[in-house]
Chains A and B, each alone.
Chain A
Amino acid sequence: MKLFFINNDGGGFADTIQVREGSTIAQLFQERMPHGKPADYLIRVNRQPVPEGHILQEGDRVSVTPTKIEGA
């Protein structure tokens, strides 16, 4: 299934990605951010916070924003 993934870490790229049916948000996070800890990010599905076991649906909008972003 397809969903819209926004990574606000670094460049802030947004892309449509393909994920397996029944994937949870925790699995998606591990797949897309292999070196990150979920606690260090604000993770939203369709602009809402969700539990880690939340099962993603076709067309979901997932955004990942680091809790710490260094200004200059």
Chain B
Amino acid sequence: MLQNQKTLLRAAERIRSTLQRVRAATAVVELPEAHWHECESLIQQIRWAESRRWMHAVTVLSDRFERSIVRCAERLQEVSRQASLSKRPAALPTVREIFGELVALSDEFERVGVDLPNQTVSVTTEPIVLEEIGFGPFEIRLHWDRIGERPPYDVVALDPNPARESSDTTHPHVKGERLCEGDGQMAIDRALRAGRLLDLFQIVSRILNTYNSGSAYVSLSDWDGIPCNDCGDQVREDDVYACDRCGDILCRNCLISCERCDVLCCQSCANYCRGCEAQACTGCQQDCRGCQRLFCSRCLSEIGLCEKCTEEEDAESLENDETLPDETAASAATSAGEAAPLPPAASVAI
């Protein structure tokens, strides 16, 4: 027997032992309580934000809620799938059958590796190209000691072309070496439990060769795009702008031109002046020294007061000016030996 065949035979024996162990283990049904509580909490937060008309917070929380409810539903589907699988358990494959599966892998994939110490079987796909975007070949690495866990395999990009916005998204359906199995999930589960390794690797490989625009981590149209910091839309590299104040990346639609100095900035760096309502950048805005509200440079006086505060200060000064002549007259009369007029009773110090 060739050395290679001995390795395959040993691997087959170990894989069978794992399958036997997984089959013997009592299935523990875990309902997605944590996910459910997270959804409940988010609903409460959304209501709270709505009652205060914090619309941006409502949008952000609604997005989080949507993701949480999807995770919760996925977990429930998994529980349902486990229940379904336990009703119709696949026959335990023989060592010979698993050996046959391992041998057949070489007919389907150019590179196949069996690593006994690390308990892995891996295959390398052909370079993946979806809608003219190349993602390079992927290694699908099954850890047989992890059969029964989700997922027991990794999908590793060997020549990665990650999405611009997310370096661990190496494929529209792979994030952090984990494949989002979608329609292939149940077939993968069944293949694993039955020890049908060829089917497992074929299914994973076919998912990698398919693009589902409806639920990709990053869609292909946005693969090389950069997200706009304000609206989140993907922007092509040649259509990217940067805020002149903070440097954030922006799309053309989110650019705001400062009405005072004409720089282009993002929403965070622009504010409406409380006086003239012009949009001004952070460089052209200042707090009024009196009321502390934001105004543009044109609406503040030389001493940093808005129109209203300036009027109030003028009125106060005028009042002070009007009371001053009486005091001066009284002082002059006293010095001349005349009786000075008495101050109003309320002002007399006792």
Q: List the interface of chain A (C-beta within 8 A of B).
A: 6, 8-14, 42, 44, 47-48, 63, 65-72
Main SS class of interface, B: helix
Given A42-B202, A69-B184, A72-B173: A8 in contact with B191 (beta carbons within 8 A): yes
Residues of the A chain whose Cβ atoms lie less than 8 Å from the Cβ of B199? 6, 8, 12, 63, 65
In the bound complex, what is the Cα–Cα distance between A18 and B27 (angstroms)? 33
Asked if residues A70 and B107 are in contact (CB atoms below 8 Å), the reply is: no
- Among residues of B, the one whose C-beta sits closest to the C-beta of A12 is B187
In the bound complex, what is the Cα–Cα distance between A14 and B173 (angstroms)? 26
Further pairs besides A11-B190, A13-B190: 13, Cβ < 8 Å: A12-B189, A12-B190, A12-B199, A14-B90, A14-B194, A47-B198, A67-B206, A69-B184, A70-B212, A71-B180, A72-B173, A72-B181, A72-B212
10 contacting pairs across A/B (C-beta < 8 A)? A8-B203, A9-B187, A11-B187, A12-B188, A47-B101, A47-B107, A69-B187, A69-B203, A69-B210, A71-B182
Asked if residues A72 and B206 are in contact (CB atoms below 8 Å), the reply is: no
Q: List the interface of chain B (C-beta within 8 A of A).
A: 90, 100-101, 104, 107, 172-173, 179-184, 186-191, 194, 196, 198-199, 202-203, 206-210, 212, 214-216
Q: Output the least CB separation between B207 and chain A (Å).
A: 5
Given A12-B188, A65-B203, A69-B203: A6 in contact with B209 (beta carbons within 8 A): no
Asked if residues B107 and A68 are in contact (CB atoms below 8 Å), the reply is: no
